[in-house]
Structure 1
Amino acid sequence: MDECSVLIGGKAGDGINVAGQTIARIFTTLGYYVYMYYDYPSLIRGGHNFSVIRASNHPIGTHRSGIDILLAMDLTTLRRHQNDCKRDALIIYNSDSVQSDVGSGIPLKRIVEKNGGSAVMENTVMIGALAFALGMEWEEFASVISHEMHKFTEKNLEIARDAFQMQEEKREVKRIHQSPGIILSGNEAVSLGLLSAGLNGYIAYPMSPSTGILHFMAAASGETGVQVFQPESEIAVVTMAEGMVYAGAKTAVGTSGGGFCLMTEALSMAGMAEIPITIVLAQRSGPSTGTPTYTAQSDLHFAIHAGHGEFPRFVFAPGDAQQAFEWAGHALSLSWQFQVPSILMTDRVLSEGVYTVDPEFLPAITPVSVPLWEGHDEYLRYRDTEDGISLYASPPLSGSVIKGNSKSHDERGISVDDGMQIASMTRKQMKKIPLMKEAVSRLNPVHVSGNHDSDMCLISWGSNAPLCREAANFVGIKSVQPIVMHPFPETEMLAATSRSRMTFLLEDNFSGQLADICEAHGIPVDIRLPRFDGRPFTLDQLIEDLWGLAE
């Protein structure tokens, strides 16, 4: 088969996410591109968790409805997902706790106890059975286990071998003789993109689904030299970060919607004081606490308009791990180039999804050269230049005072109440906007794929982009993805959609936030395709909907 979808499910605490990533690694070893979606409630123990791992012979970024192999670690998984299985699906269940006339059972607990392992290693039993079913050689599979399971490696190998030898039924996949690349989560890709652009500091308070960035940065801090802090609140996060930026350190923060709410006053300060801070806003279902472990795209208007007063900012929304790497780097670099805040919007599906990324296609992001002041006369932090961008300096600077001021100020940074000076500084900041638009226009701010000659167009943003790219290719229509959300790439979007007789727009919110923005810029949206239950669209569902709408 050219594709295979595996679902592994169990309770919180069974290691379903780690198991899913190991299965993704198995398929990568066999030469496949992979995408993994992880579904879990906000529970430490219990509940129902599952991972869907899709493997394909071409690049992918979404999962499908039908399951080829179901790995049921408990009865709930079998009951909930058996109807999602294809007619010839292979079902492997935990015979210690499940009785079924369908599929084959394997005793997870018994194998683990026989080898003196702990309960969390029961997922290793399932993975071992799967490896045999897929037709892997033991030595090849053992190398995957050794790579993925750094703790108790030998014990996991013993357990996996018993399961490998016990499994009888097969559902072999053909080996593809290619090396598609590495596997990265969206959060890991964001982290690497920030680092590639010269990040010096990362500060965050844990908040799903952005927490993976904090974990990655902390683990890599010894190697990268990046300063990583977890203060007591989101307010402390953003103000500490702005202090680091004032001191000359390229700094980013990460949060989700609720934490971003708390950061908005400091975001306004960054606007007034021209502090180049980068904020990763990983969206989740809201409002308020909402459902913390499920997805949404309902913070777009908020990100564009957050904070009181008017000030320039960048807002970017990548769609997959490769774009997350690229645009995280752009967010940090452009923020410093123009001395404005930047917001990188992800969502739960992108942040915690796992993708195959080909390192050859990751662009080299050269850290921006910040125009620095090296004069000997009085330093004017907010000098009103032709392009609105003042030369930057950070303390200590001999013989100079470097002011950063959140109040209306003059060129030196001294607080003022005079109307003419207030207006002058406002115009200074706003002079940056045309140059910001020019800068992003050189970075392919709108991604167009599919049938360029079609008179039907499917617009999407964020993690829905790879889904819509694949669906559009299948149906034979054009797919359009704006990556730059602000300043909105009106020229590029009009060019991409001008020949469309019918335009669909798919997004994970009720009100159609991107649709409203498109229509405000003269881009008509004929049919809105919203989803707002916290779950992502599936490829098969979208293809069926598009066929119906296109008739």
Structure 2
Amino acid sequence: MDKHGHTNIFTVVIGGAAGDGIKEAGSNLGRVLTKLGYEVFVSFKYPSLIRGGHNFSRVSFSKEKIFYDHSGIDALVALNDETIHRHLDKLNKDAVVFVENLEEHDVTAVGAKAVQLPLQEFIKKSGAPQIARSSAALGAVCYLLNLPLQKILNVLQEVFKEKGYESNITLAKLGYEHLEKLNFRRWKKIEPGEVGRREFIDGNTAFARGIVASGLDHYFSYPMTPSTSILHFLAKQQKNYNIKVIQPENEIAGIHMALGAAYAGKRAAVGTATGGFALMQEAFSLAGIAEIPVVIAVSQRQGPASGVPTHFSQADMRFVLHSGHGEFPRIVLAPGDPEEAFKCGADALNLAWKYQLPVIVLLDKHVSENSTTSVLDSSAIKIEKGKLEEMPHGHYGRYALTEDGVSPLAFPGTPGIAVKSNSYEHDEDGTVTEDFDTIKKMQDKRFAKGEGLAEEMDKYETVKVYGDTKSKDAIVFWGSNKTVILEAAKFIKKPCRLVQVLWLAPFPTEKVSRALKAAKRIIDIESNHDAQFAGLLREKTGIVAEDKILRYDSRPFDPLELAEEINAYLK
């Protein structure tokens, strides 16, 4: 039970230093709980350090759907003293604190109870490496949940089977049996739900699987937090997926390699953070004028410049919408959770090839790295190859003028034709031109794609509406704030209309206008200083969000605190 009296949500925090395996510990607990049938949300907080500092994973779970983690802690696994000091004020009443040395820690003043978990003793018994010691805490938490040991061990066999870590299972068993010997008081049992097709996954991995499902051939990325795990996942899986994954010398090389691959007929994608995307601007414009299909995953983090590289921000929406010099159409999708990251990844590759233009999937630190129980359906993804000219006869115009602005696409090496493409303005054949009429025709041709896409947008879920669709009070949001707002909505005292916008360009003006129709109060919630989405909303629809809840200190919103702020507006 947290400090607000909510008894159906439990939160476990595992804390220590960088290098202690904190992220893996939280992920393993999340996987186990998911396989047991719980709804789970896991976040990972870490500084920009390889060793030291304070890292922690926060695991919230419930029988009912949980959209975001809660800050009130029911069990704290402290792998060092700093973890206790940092999280002491977040301990719920009757919280359990697992420590190595019981005599050094007294948490009774905050209504919690310290329990010795002799991790070093367990390490000696199991023969496991130090980095695995948090697995004992996993077993201890499962004991608190009042779950049968054999059921836990069966699930752990599944979780660790691929990794081959037998000692992790031994550690978990030791942790469970240790509390059993102490006859320690268990938590009120929460019956898990059905496992079904759910899996535990983060947004980066979901995005990666989405582009693979949509026919990815090549992926290029220079590592940059928080996009790096896309590269790591695809690199490990490239043989299974029959794709090529390349880490170039820098971000500029990465996007040029992707454009070259797409020019040659390969479905290519790039991954970076917004700092890396800043280096790609000239190449992004090249994709625009050369009409080269490419997908770019851009994950936001706290800036400007190097900023706070491992922290959260939504400050780059305007930058991405107006990226590149010159005018040309682009598509910008902003998923809010792993399921949407998967779908947006798949849609992005199809849209890039259908309309022969660059598509950005705008992620952020939280949608990239937070993990939750999700359902991903690869069988529902159909690969759209676009307007391919498979057997051109005689003359071929790479930029032939068409009604929809999309020219038949052929690739170098096609017998009997030349495929010309460059960064200069060109005529229908791809030959450089400075003729005024041709320049205008080519500009109009490129923007005709946007007009065609706008007509087709009804096929896509560009806007989602939750809550009471007839309420006069509306909240608008985009990106990963979806998760915290949906969780906060459980604690909002008045019925509210919640409007999420997934497509930022082209902007779904009609759908957004319908979603906000007759709303008397509109609250814009986002994580930047300038209320960038509120400005875009007004620009595209004329609708003004008079009330704004903004956070830009690199921390995400807390669902309970956010609910209190919303309730204050709705009085």
TM-score (norm 1): 0.97
Aligned to 2:70: 64
* SS state at 2:133 partner: helix
The yes-or-no answer on 1:506 pairing with 2:525 is yes
Matched residues in 1 for 2:104 and 2:218: separation? 49
**Corresponding residue of 1:274:** 291
Q: Secondary structure at the match of 2:397?
A: coil
Check whether the contact 1:96–1:107 (CA below 8 A) recurs between aligned residues: no
In the alignment, structure 1 residue 162 sits paired with structure 2 residue 174: yes
Between 1:153-162 and 1:83-92, the stretch displaced more is 153-162
- AA partner of residue 549 (structure 2): L
Q: Is it true that 1:367 corresponds to 2:383 in the alignment?
A: yes
For 1:252 and 1:97, the matched residues in 2 are separated by: 54
Q: After the TM superposition, which of the residue ranges 430-439 and 110-119 deviates more from structure 2?
A: 110-119
Contact preservation (8 Å) 1:245, 1:277:
yes
Partner of 2:486: 469
Task: Tell me the CA shift for residue 405 of structure 1.
Answer: 1.4
Shift of 1:98: 4.7
2:312 is equivalent to residue 292 of structure 1: no
Q: Residues of 2 paired with 1:43 and 1:152: CA distance?
A: 28
Equivalent residues in 2 for 1:264-343 (5 A)?
Answer: 264-343=281-360
Q: Which one of the candidate residues 109, 120, 124 is aligned to 1:113?
A: 124
Deviation at 1:508, TM superposition (A): 0.9
1:460 is matched with 477
Alignment match, 2:150: 139
1:433-452 to 2 correspondence within 5 Å? Answer: 433-452=450-469
Looking at structure 2, the residues matched to 93 and 172 of structure 1 have their Cα atoms a distance apart, in angstroms, of 22
AA matched with 2:187: R
The alpha-carbon distance between structure 1 residues 494 and 238, as it changes in their structure 2 partners (threshold 3 A), is same
Distance (whole Å) between structure 2 residues aligned to residue 176 and residue 127 of structure 1: 17
- Unpaired segments ≥5 residues, structure 2: 1-6, 108-112
Post-superposition Cα deviations, 1:179-212, rounded to whole Å, max 9, x if no partner, equal: 1511111011101110111111111000011011
Indicate the residue corresponding to 2:92 in structure 1.
86
1:97 deviation in Å?
A: 9.2
8 A Cα contact 1:90 1:171, kept in partner: no
Aligned mate of 2:266, from 236, 241, 249: 249
Unaligned runs of 5+ in 1: none
Give the AA of the match of 1:103: A
Output the amino acid matched with 2:158: H
Deviation at 1:72, TM superposition (A): 1.5
Aligned AA for 1:132? Y
* 1:319-341 Cα shifts (integer Å, max 9, x gaps): 01111111111111111100010
Q: How many residues align?
A: 550
1:48 equivalent to 2:67? Answer: no
The answer for the alignment partner of 1:527 in structure 2 is 547
Whole-angstrom CA distance in 2 between matches of 1:399 and 1:301 = 44
TM superposition shift of 1:75? 1.2
Q: Is the 8 A contact 1:450 1:473 kept in 2?
A: no
In 2, are the aligned partners of 1:96 and 1:108 still within 8 Å (CA)? no
Residue 226 of structure 2 contacts residue 310 of structure 2 at CA under 8 Å; is this kept in 1?
yes
CA contact (8 A) 1:193 1:326 kept: yes
Q: Which amino acid aligns with 1:230?
A: Q
In the alignment, what sits opposite 2:423?
406
| Corresponding residue SS for 1:129 | helix
1:177-256 equivalence runs, <5 A = 177-179=193-195, 181-256=198-273
User: CA separation in 2, counterparts of 1:359 and 1:341?
Assistant: 25
Matched AA of 1:502? R
Is residue 136 of structure 2 the alignment partner of residue 130 of structure 1? no
Residues 236-274 of structure 1, C-alpha deviation per residue, up to 9 Å, x if partnerless?
Answer: 000000000001000000000110011110000000000
Distance 1:204 1:111 in 2: 40
C-alpha distance in 1 between matches for 2:317 and 2:64: 31
State TM-score, norm by structure 2. Answer: 0.93
Tell me the SS of whatever aligns to 2:29.
Answer: helix
Secondary structure of the 2:128 match is coil
- Which amino acid letter does the alignment assign opposite residue 231 of structure 1? P
How many angstroms apart in 1 are the aligned matches of 2:420 and 2:343?
A: 33
Q: Pick the aligned partner of 2:9 from 3, 20, 45.
A: 3
CA–CA distance in structure 2, aligned partners of residues 444 and 276 of structure 1: 22
**Aligned residue among 406, 409, 420 for 1:389:** 406
SS at match of 2:421: coil
Q: Which residue of 1 aligns with 2:3?
A: none
Secondary structure (helix, strand or coil) at the match of 2:387 reads: coil
Pairing 1:545–2:565 present: yes
Work out the percentage of aligned pairs sharing the same amino acid.
Answer: 36
User: In structure 2, how many angstroms separate the alpha carbons of the residues matched to 1:519 and 1:496?
Assistant: 14
- Equivalent AA in structure 1 for residue 314 of structure 2: Q
User: Partners in 2 of 1:145 and 1:119 — Cα distance?
Assistant: 19
2:105–2:114 Cα contact (<8 Å) kept:
no
Deviations 1:222-247 (A, max 9, x none): 11111110010000000000000001
Following the alignment from structure 1 to structure 2, what is the Cα–Cα distance between the partners of residues 399 and 253? 32
CA contact (8 A) 1:459 1:503 kept: yes
Corresponding position of 2:515? 496
The answer to whether the aligner puts 1:76 opposite 2:82 as a matched pair is: yes
Residue of structure 1 aligned with 2:397, choices 376, 380, 389: 380
Check conservation: 2:67, 2:486, Cα contact below 8 A.
no
Q: How far apart, in 1, do the equivalents of 2:146 and 2:159 lie?
A: 20
Q: How far apart are the structure 2 equivalents of 1:423 and 1:97?
A: 79
Question: Could you list the per-position Cα deviations for residues 11-69 of structure 1 after superposition, in whole angstroms to 9, with x for gaps in the alignment?
Answer: 11111111101111222133111111111101111111111111122333211221222
- Contact 2:136/2:172 (<8 A) preserved: yes
1:311–1:430 contact (8 Å) kept in structure 2:
yes
For residues 360-390 of structure 1, what are the alpha-carbon distances to aligned partners after superposition, in whole Å with 9 as ceiling and x for unaligned?
A: 6x77121113211122120100001111100
Kept in 1: contact 2:36–2:155 (CA 8 A): no
Residue 90 of structure 1 aligns with an amino acid whose one-letter code is: V
Tell me: CA distance 1:342–1:154, structure 2 relative to 1, closer, same or farther (3 Å): same
Per-residue CA distance 1:159-187 (angstroms, 9 max, x = gap) = 22222211232225322241151111101
Structure 1, 236-245 or 127-136: larger mean CA deviation: 127-136
Deviation sequence 1:88-124 (CA, Å, 0-9, x none): 2222222289533532111212221233332112211
Distance 1:93 1:137 in 2: 24
Find the residue that maps to 2:339 and give its secondary structure.
Answer: helix
CA distance in structure 1 between the partners assigned to 2:157 and 2:23 by the alignment: 17
Q: 8 Å contact 2:62–2:190 — kept in the other structure?
A: no
Is 2:210–2:345's contact at 8 Å kept on the other side of the alignment? yes
Distance in 2 separating the partners of 1:509 and 1:533: 9
Q: How far apart, CA to CA, are the structure 1 residues paired with 2:278 and 2:39?
A: 37
| 1:20 alignment partner in structure 2 | 26
**40-49 vs 111-120, which moves further:** 111-120
Contact 2:342 / 2:376 at 8 angstroms: preserved in 1?
no
